[in-house]
Amino acid sequence: MVKAQSSQQESHFVTPPLESGDHLTRDQFERRYHAMPHLKKAELIEGVVYVPSPLRFEPHAEPHGDLMTWLGTYKAMTPGTRLGDNPTVRLDLDNEPQPDAVLLIEETAGGQSRLDEDGYIEGAPELVVEVAASSSANDLYEKKKVYRRNGVREYLVWQVLDQKLNWFVLTDGDYRSLEPDRAGIIRSEVFPGLWLAVASLLNGDMARVLAVLKEGLNSSQHSEFLK
């Protein structure tokens, strides 16, 4: 009986639970994550574990849904692209984030990431999207540096409480901000036709957001991209 209890204790310590602040290798992180099937999200950023708190509706879930509606519409009309909701991304040995959304170009169509034998994304998706509470969120600091270093070509962060959206594009090894034009529209440089009416998104006017996206999808740039 004592031996059985000892074996159970050893088994317990082989795969301890993930805790925010743990310093782990990617293999250790994945082993602990797999041992916690009830856990829906955890990330490894620069070798440090982040386990987020439960997500509230208005500051996160609803904005996330609006972004997925916008991106999903683009994906549906753009063969060769793939859209993921909270996928695990194996960037390098110290970084395995789980972004709120990724939009990528399929490997067979010239994309820079691929699905590995375990079904995870290996490498940097073309576009990563994060919903952040404010400008103090890790998304604009450590994560941004990690995404830049690993070659994520565009990075969009919606700071919900600050009513602000940042869209970065990788240029000469660094991120620069994409700015809205006079009409308040940001146009992706990596995904032609992916147009965003920023103020409309921030104000919850999804009808306007989708109308502007439709204009982008009908543009000559999107038609050329499809070819």
Q: What is the tens place of the pLDDT at every residue in 158-210?
A: 999 999 999 999 999 999 999 999 999 999 999 999 999 999 999 999 999 99
Measured CA distances, 143 to 45, 94, 128 (Å): 7, 12, 11
pTM: 0.86
Length of the chain: 227
Read off the pLDDT band of 7 (50, 70, 90).
Answer: very low
Question: How many percent of the chain have pLDDT more than 90?
Answer: 70
* Calpha distance 103→210 (Å, rounded): 17
The pLDDT assigned to 136 comes to 66
- Enumerate the domain spans of the chain: 1-54, 55-226
Q: Compute the C-alpha angle 91/103/78, nearest 5°.
A: 145
Q: Does residue 106 have a pLDDT over 80?
A: yes
* Calpha distance 89→30 (Å, rounded): 12
Residue 155: CB atoms within 10 A of its CB come to 23
Secondary-structure class of domain 55-226 per CATH: alpha beta
Query: Taking residues 47-55, what's their average pLDDT?
Result: 82
User: CB–CB of 153/171 below 8 Å?
Assistant: no
Helix (H), strand (E) at residue 198: helix 198-202
Nearest to 123 by CA among 100, 85, 149: 149
Question: How many percent of the chain have pLDDT more than 70?
Answer: 93
Q: Does residue 12 have a pLDDT over 50?
A: no
Of 26-35, 107-116, 143-152, the poorest mean pLDDT is in 26-35
